[in-house]
Homo-oligomer: A and B are copies of this chain.
Amino acid sequence: MELTQMTLTALPGIPLVRPGDDLADLILQGLERGGLHLQDGDILVVAQKIVSKAEGRAVHLVDVTPSEKARELATTLGKDPRHVQVILDETKEIVRLKPGTIIVEERLGLICANAGVDRSNVAPAGEEEVLCLPLDPDASARRIREGLRAATGREVGVIISDSHNRPWRNGVIGVAIGVAGIVPVEDWRGRRDLFGYTLHVTTVGVADMVASAATLLMGQADEGRPVVLVRGAPHTRGDGTHWDCLRPREEDLFR
């Protein structure tokens, strides 16, 4: 019997990533190390952290001069004022602020804590660095996709994933902050169910669900599994962008 299956495999032995590294190459090496062969329709999920590192998005705090606003916020947030300055540099709008927590709309339109500027997993303790999101994660995803296609001839999707908190539920989950080669949100409006009702479900967050599945396998505490090969995920190939994942401001009931 043909079963409907989806398989996620973490690529083994991906090394610590350094600025300038070619992620498509690292992925190809990881595939080979695991005895894995790409197939058309596979999706590679790549953790934002290694994309940011490869693209040189680390900021040395010694190079940052905090503004007066950053110094004030740093007191509220209990963070290094220089870290807060980098957060503000990545921020379009502060959405919520309370002691210890800053939720913003950052440069890419994501509503998230700290504008995605993270201190963990960045550099040996002592070297004070923070890591910003990639400048254009869709472009990062496209580059990886094209590198993989050039090397293998396979048409795959690529998702750059990050971990986000949510307003009403505990625990971070994976979301797609960059995509290439897939339609990240599928519109099922007008489809009918078994009984002929028009479905009330409007759209399905395909890329985010793939990102969550992969994030679970990646773990969070180390960088040993920052790339996951997803095979069998129901999706539609196409030219999507992470902007498709963002609810338009005029539909936002909770800002």
A interface residue numbers (CB < 8 A to B):
1, 3-10, 12, 16, 33-36, 96, 98, 101, 103, 111, 118-125, 163, 166-175, 184-186, 188, 191-206, 208-210, 212-213, 215-217, 219-223, 225, 232-234, 244-247, 252-255
Contact = CB atoms under 8 A, between A and B. Distances in A.
B4 A7 contact: no
Contact of A244 (B121, B170, B195, B252): B170
Given A3-B9, A4-B9, A171-B185, A209 B204 contact: no
B205 A169 contact: yes
A125 B8 CA distance: 38
Please state the number of chain copies in the assembly.
Answer: 2
Nearest to A198: B120
5 contacts: A5-B7, A96-B254, A172-B201, A173-B205, A191-B221
Contact of A216 (B6, B96, B244): B6
Nearest to A33: B1
Given A6-B217, A34-B1, A212-B208, A98 B193 contact: no
Contact of A246 (B168, B202, B232): B168
Contact of A213 (B118, B124, B213, B225): B213
Contacts of A192: 221
A1 B12 contact: yes
Given A200-B118, A234-B219, A7 B6 contact: yes
Given A170-B185, A201-B220, A209-B216, A253 B4 contact: no
B188 A221 contact: yes
A217 B96 contact: no
